[in-house]
Amino acid sequence: MSTYPVSFQASESQTREPDMQPPTRRQFLKRFGTGLMVWAVLGPRLGAQESEAPRPATVRPRQTGDFNAFLHIDGNGHVTCFTGKIEMGQGIITSLPQMMAEDLDVSLDDVEIVMGDTELCPFDGGTFGSGSTRQFGLIFRAAAAEARGVLLGLAAASLQVPEAQLAVQQGVVVDSSDPSRKISYGQLTQGKKIERHLVVKPNPKKPELYKIVGKPLLRRDSRDKVTGKAHFSGDLRLPGMLYARVLRAPAHGATLKTVDTSAVKEIEGAILVQLPDLVAVLHEFPDVAEDALGKIHAEFNPSPSDLDDKTIYDHLQQVKGESRVAAHGGDLATGRAQAVKRHDQTYLNPYVAHAAMETHTALAHVEGSKATVWASTQTPFPAREEIARALGLPIQSVRVITPFVGGGFGGKSFNLQAVEAARLSKETGRPVQVMWTREEEFYNDTFRPAAVVNIQSGLDGAGRIAFWDYEVRFAGDRGAAQLYDIPHHRTSSIGGFQGPAGVHPFAVGAWRAPGSSTNAFAREGHIDQLASMAGVDPIEFRLSQLKDPRLIRVLKAAAEHWGWKPGKGPSGRGLGVACGSDAGSYVAGITEVEIDPKEGRIVVKRVLCAQEMGLVINPAGAKLQMEGCIMMGLGYALSEEIHFKNGAVKDTNFDSYALPRFSWLPKIETVLLEADDTPPQGGGEPAIILMGALLANALHDATGVRMLELPMTPSRVKAALATKA
Amino acid sequence: MTPASMRCLSPIPMPDTVSFRLNKQPVRIKVAPDRTLLWVLRTDLGLTGTKYGCGIVQCGACTVLVDNKAVRSCSVDVKSVEGKDVTTIEGLATDGKLHPLQEAFVAHDALQCGFCTPGMIMTACDLLQRNPNPTREEVIAGMEGNLCRCGAHTRIVDAILSAASIMKGGKAS
């Protein structure tokens, strides 16, 4: 099979050119005419919180009745598994085959994975919400267990022994009473055509039988990524292709008034496409297309937005949104009456960019009534619908293929670049690549929404939290419900994750653990203040009011691995604590910081994170994700915020929008707690939720200064230190 | 909005011939000499391992070696490499054998999405040539101009220190 989608096979190198003639379902069946196929259909995602899905439910694509093969075993015993999930760094290119190899009892080297191709892979809503392992993995493992069951049945008939007498080693079924009698998966499937549709959910293996799951494995895609061989969407080339550059408005909400494109023709080879809502210049070289774009003189009507990054919080406090109670208990009036010390506070979070190193990119080839689009996307199936709608084609006529994605973090769930490439290919009749510049990436990003959290609370005479009234405005309720044993409490979410139209001056969307970082910053910062008011060590205060045994366990583990010495804050030591739950996993962190009072800089010396995520498939990959969360999380905590005014995004590149750099690197320690009897939970997001509160609490512990607004930039810290002095 | 990140020229100069050595092979291409090295490498020469990340020398994804020194290919014209030796990530392995830095990045899982990786390795290559025996702090300082959004930093530092040790004939750490 050609390997234009991300496909990994241990022994075979990838070819370069994307296939011009994508195989149809019939061709696919012809290719896999024999062997064992397990077909399965994914049900709708259950229990998703309001902020977890990257897009409103109304435009979520429908499950289509296309191709639903999950797993194929050929006459050589070679296993190919198919998933609509994509690889963007999170490591499922390794961990999903790892699960498959475990439940099939084959060598990992015999498992190939094909990802994110709408023609070959079963429907999938998208890769987000740390769901690949915890939700999709179950079905993947079920397909493998089903296949193993079928093969054991065939082997029992062939060897004429009861199934219970058979064992499987590396894809070979052996008669345990006479090990010389054996038959391989390849022999069992050779020349046969066996199809199974997954109806019941078979039982995957018990943890005590694991041979592959739980073993730390290095990434399978590293070799291609260190040699430049791995292909991202921008690395694909088709004969006759053009590179497009698209005219953008100077501000969101600004509309095109006049456009003079006459000078474009001075550039040899430049092709102009001018549609009512899309003006672009195309050329066989991307840098020349850029130059030609500069020849266009356009005037825009100004944006009607009067918001900027200073006024946004007053706006968010005032604007109306639907209220939803995410959690409640007891009676707030009773709790308020019991409180002897009140503490009310408001927490602010700005817009934050995804800023993946790969900008949004797509290569589209529209030929008559067929379209093939290679796109950097977290959502190939929704992208297919967006493209089909834009081209006026039935969705079956559009194929989206996902090469390696250069980082997503939620930002590649919308697919404007793929729609642009497809429309321009249709207009020009040639393959077209759209690779956004970094400036376009900032301009078109679906930012993490700016949000406000209001907390009212009080301590009773015994120093326990008497009541907790929590209101999150426009960040959604993911991670909002408080985790503590508080008798009288309420958690309200206003406006949901994105709010009604007009709340934000530009598009917002899911950003790694959407809503959860905002909520953890407010909750854990506030809890820390209550601990200080009660005069109790922050870990002891938390433990005394926690009831969830999984959370208690991670917090104790963090304290133990850190070597925590209790002390009430602010202790002057610069230590911070925070804990929380996200994507079904539990995390607790401890940090040590030093404050440079002259510059206002927070220097993070050490971060320890303990995580319980149920059964761990690949501990090496899980730790990599935790480290990534910690490092990426330094950014939203310390430096990242979008400046804007009247619809114009003022941060356009990394010169003003500061990402964490090597010099920020603290000593990072990660602790994974064993919980093999709990199904696997999410690993790509949980640790990042801690970073805002962790560093705010550490700053307070060092200086007594409490920051209520992120990011804690040097100028803000300096100002706060000066106010205190 | 004024895009600044793709260097552009006006008007496009007439094509000229530029000759240099690319990954040890001589190349001679007909190209407008003021075009940007990054796009000539990626488009005209088809070497896509060198990545575009920011276009303004802020991220390091486009780093290549020119006469063994790290150069941000987004910021130089193709004519600036006339007669010089250019090495891209594709030219680092010799006779199918990975460079010790490449081996170390694999062994340390020093990447996630992998998009910044070629630039990281080329920058580290320059760093180790100038300083074969760097301290951890020197590695961190040397890599400061390269961005990784996935947060693989701690592994990248470990990988570079390990490669340095191997290149001196020591053992992997």
The DSSP string of chain B is ----SS---SSPPPPEEEEEEETTEEEEEEE-TTSBHHHIIIIIS--TTS--S-SSSSS-TTEEEETTEEEETTSSBGGGGTTSEEE-GGGSSBTTBPPHHHHHHHHTT--SS-SSHHHHHHHHHHHHHH-SS--HHHHHHHTTT---SS--HHHHHHHHHHHHHHHTT----
Q: Which of B74, B109, B117, B147 to mutate: most A Cβ within 10 Å?
A: B109
Task: Work out the pLDDT band at A1, boundaries 50, 70, 90.
Answer: very low
* Mean pLDDT across A430-444: 98
Asked if the interface predicted TM-score (ipTM) of this complex is over 0.90, the answer is yes
Strand partners, A592: A575, A606
**Which residues of chain A are within 8 Å of residue B148 when distances are taken between CB atoms?**
357, 631
Task: Work out the pLDDT band at A54, boundaries 50, 70, 90.
Answer: very low
Q: Which residue of B has its CA nearest to A439?
A: B3
Q: pLDDT tens, A523-566?
A: 999 999 999 999 999 999 999 999 999 999 999 999 999 999 99
**Which residues of chain A are within 8 Å of residue B12 when distances are taken between CB atoms?**
267-268, 288, 291
Please indicate whether residue B33 or residue A194 has the higher confidence score (pLDDT).
Answer: B33
**Which residues of chain B are within 8 Å of residue A294 when distances are taken between CB atoms?**
8, 10
Q: Give the model's pLDDT for residue A20.
A: 32
Q: Which of A16, A227, A300 to mutate: most B Cβ within 10 Å?
A: A227
Please indicate whether residue A47 or residue B162 has the higher confidence score (pLDDT).
Answer: B162
HSE (side-chain half, CA atoms, 13 Å) at A483: 29
Q: Across the interface, do B111 and A225 touch by the CB < 8 Å criterion?
A: yes
Q: Across the interface, do B113 and A407 touch by the CB < 8 Å criterion?
A: yes
Q: Which residue of B has its CA nearest to A624?
A: B152
* A328-332, A654-658, B14-18, B67-71: least confident range: B14-18
Quick check: helix, strand or coil at residue A264? Answer: helix
Please indicate if any CB of chain A lies within 8 Å of the CB of B9: yes
Q: Which residues of A167-193 are buried (b: 16+ CB within 10 A; e: fewer)?
A: ebeebbbbbeeeeebbbbbbbbbeeee
Length of chain B in terms of residues written: 173
Of A398, A400, A337, A410, residue with least CA distance to A369: A398
pTM of the model: 0.93
Q: Give the model's pLDDT for residue A203.
A: 64
Averaged confidence pLDDT in chain A: 90
- The two structure tokens encoding residue A709: 């607004």
Kind plus residue range of the DSSP H or E element containing A159: helix A137-159
Portion 643-672 of A in contact with B at CB < 8 A: 648-649, 652-655, 659-663, 665, 668
Q: Which residue of B has its CA nearest to A299?
A: B1
- The two structure tokens encoding residue B151: 């947060």
* A59-63, A412-416, A567-571, A700-704: least confident range: A59-63
* A13-17, A32-36, A96-100, B34-38: least confident range: A13-17
Q: Give the model's pLDDT for residue A44.
A: 44
Please indicate if any CB of chain B lies within 8 Å of the CB of A434: no
Q: Give the model's pLDDT for residue A141.
A: 85
Q: pLDDT tens, A59-88?
A: 333 443 333 457 889 988 999 988 889 999
Q: Give the model's pLDDT for residue B171.
A: 60
Q: Give the model's pLDDT for residue B8.
A: 44
Nearest residue, CB atoms, A286 vs list B12, B43, B112: B43
Please indicate whether residue A56 or residue A627 has the higher confidence score (pLDDT).
Answer: A627
Task: Work out the pLDDT band at A11, boundaries 50, 70, 90.
Answer: very low
Q: Across the interface, do A631 and B46 touch by the CB < 8 Å criterion?
A: no
Judge whether residue A451 has pLDDT over 70. yes
Nearest residue, CB atoms, B3 vs list A356, A437, A655: A437
pLDDT cut 90: percent of chain A above it: 80
Q: pLDDT tens, A305-350?
A: 999 999 999 999 999 999 999 999 999 999 999 999 999 999 999 9
Please indicate whether residue A606 or residue A129 has the higher confidence score (pLDDT).
Answer: A606
Portion 63-82 of B in contact with A at CB < 8 A: none
* Mean pLDDT across A127-147: 82
Portion 334-393 of A in contact with B at CB < 8 A: 355-359
Q: Which residue of B has its CA nearest to A667?
A: B154
* Mean pLDDT across A393-411: 96
Q: Give the model's pLDDT for residue A129.
A: 80
Q: Across the interface, do B154 and A668 touch by the CB < 8 Å criterion?
A: yes
Q: Across the interface, do A226 and B36 touch by the CB < 8 Å criterion?
A: no
Task: Work out the pLDDT band at A708, boundaries 50, 70, 90.
Answer: very high
Kindly report the nearest CA distance between residue B42 and chain A, in angstroms.
8
Q: pLDDT tens, A224-236?
A: 999 999 999 999 9
Q: Give the model's pLDDT for residue A131.
A: 77
* Mean pLDDT across A21-27: 46
